[in-house]
Structure 1
Amino acid sequence: MKKLQALLRHDAIGGILIITATILALICQNTILTDFYNELLRTESGFVIGEYKVIKPILLWVNDGLMAVFFFAIGLEIKKEIMIGELSTPSKVALPVIGGIGGVVVPSLIFVAFTFSDPFWVKGWAIPTVSDTAFALGILLLLGSRVPPSLRLFLLLLAIIDDICAVVIIAIFYTGELSNFALYMAGVAFVIMAVLNILKVNKPLFYFAAGAFMWVAFLESGVHSTIAGIVASLFIPLKPIKGYRMLIGIEHSLKGVITYFIMPVFAFVNAGIALNSQAFLGLLHPVSLGIIFGLLIGKPVGIFIFSYAAIKLKLSNLPTGSNFKQFLGLGFLTGIGASMSLFIDSIAYEDSDLFVYADKLAILIASFLAAFIGWFILRNATVKLK
Structure 2
Amino acid sequence: MIITNYFKKFFQIAQSSGNLLIICVILSLMIANSSLGSSFQELLDYQLGSYSISLWINDGLMTIFFLLVGLEIKREILEGELSSFKNATLPIFAALGGMLVPAAIFYFFNQGSKYENGWGIPMATDIAFSLAIISMLGKRVPVSVKIFLTALAIVDDLGAIVVIAIFYTEKLETNYLLLCGLVMLILVALNFFKVKRHIFYLIPGVFLWYFMHHSGIHATIAGVLLAFTIPTNDSDTEISPLEKLEEKLHTPVNYFIMPIFALANTNIKFHDGMVDGLFTNFGYGIILGLVLGKVIGINLFSFIAIKLNLSDLPNNSKWSQMIGAGLLAGIGFTMSIFIALLSYKNDIEIQDEAKFAILVASALSGFMGYFLLKAISDKYDSLEHD
TM class by shorter chain equals: 0.7 to 0.9
Q: Counterpart of 1:239?
A: 233
Residues 17-73 of structure 1 show CA distances to partners (whole Å, capped at 9, x for unaligned) of 322221111111111101211110111111xxxxxxxx1211122222222222233
Structure 1 residue matching 2:30: 3-state secondary structure = helix
Q: Counterpart of 1:25?
A: 28
Aligned length: 377
Distance 1:300 1:184, change over 3 A: closer
Matched, 1:339 2:334: yes
| One-letter amino acid of the counterpart of residue 162, structure 1 | D
Distance 1:79 1:311, change over 3 A: closer
Q: Return the offset for 1:212.
A: 1.2
TM-score between the two structures when normalised by the length of structure 2: 0.84
Matched, 1:101 2:96: yes
Matched, 1:251 2:246: yes
Q: Counterpart of 1:63?
A: 58
Matched, 1:192 2:195: no
Structure 2 distance, partners of 1:202, 1:370, is 42
Q: Return the offset for 1:274.
A: 1.0
TM-score between the two structures when normalised by the length of structure 1: 0.84
In structure 1, runs of 5+ residues without a counterpart are 47-54
Q: How does 1:237-316 map to 2 (within 5 A)?
A: 237-239=231-233, 245-316=240-311
Asked whether the equivalents of residues 151 and 319 of structure 1 are also in contact (C-alpha less than 8 Å), the reply is yes
Matched, 1:38 2:26: no
Which range moves more in the overlay, 375-384 or 285-294?
375-384
Which range moves more in the overlay, 316-325 or 30-39?
316-325
Q: Return the offset for 1:143.
A: 4.8
| One-letter amino acid of the counterpart of residue 213, structure 2 | L
Q: Return the offset for 1:298.
A: 0.3
Asked whether the equivalents of residues 18 and 133 of structure 2 are also in contact (C-alpha less than 8 Å), the reply is no
| Superposition CA RMSD, Å | 3.1
Distance 1:74 1:281, change over 3 A: same
| One-letter amino acid of the counterpart of residue 155, structure 1 | L
Distance 1:348 1:210, change over 3 A: farther
Structure 1 distance, partners of 2:184, 2:144, is 38
Structure 2 distance, partners of 1:145, 1:13, is 13
| One-letter amino acid of the counterpart of residue 241, structure 2 | M
Residues 207-252 of structure 1 show CA distances to partners (whole Å, capped at 9, x for unaligned) of 22211122222222222222322332332222379x6622222222
Asked whether the equivalents of residues 278 and 356 of structure 1 are also in contact (C-alpha less than 8 Å), the reply is no
Q: Return the offset for 1:273.
A: 0.8
Structure 2 distance, partners of 1:349, 1:26, is 22
Asked whether the equivalents of residues 148 and 385 of structure 1 are also in contact (C-alpha less than 8 Å), the reply is no
Which range moves more in the overlay, 63-72 or 163-172?
163-172
Q: Return the offset for 1:164.
A: 4.2
Structure 1 distance, partners of 2:137, 2:234, is 38
Structure 2 distance, partners of 1:96, 1:86, is 12
Q: Return the offset for 1:171.
A: 4.4
Matched, 1:8 2:11: yes
| One-letter amino acid of the counterpart of residue 200, structure 2 | F
Structure 1 distance, partners of 2:25, 2:303, is 35
Of 224, 229, 244, 2:218 maps to 224
| One-letter amino acid of the counterpart of residue 358, structure 2 | I
Structure 1 distance, partners of 2:311, 2:177, is 41
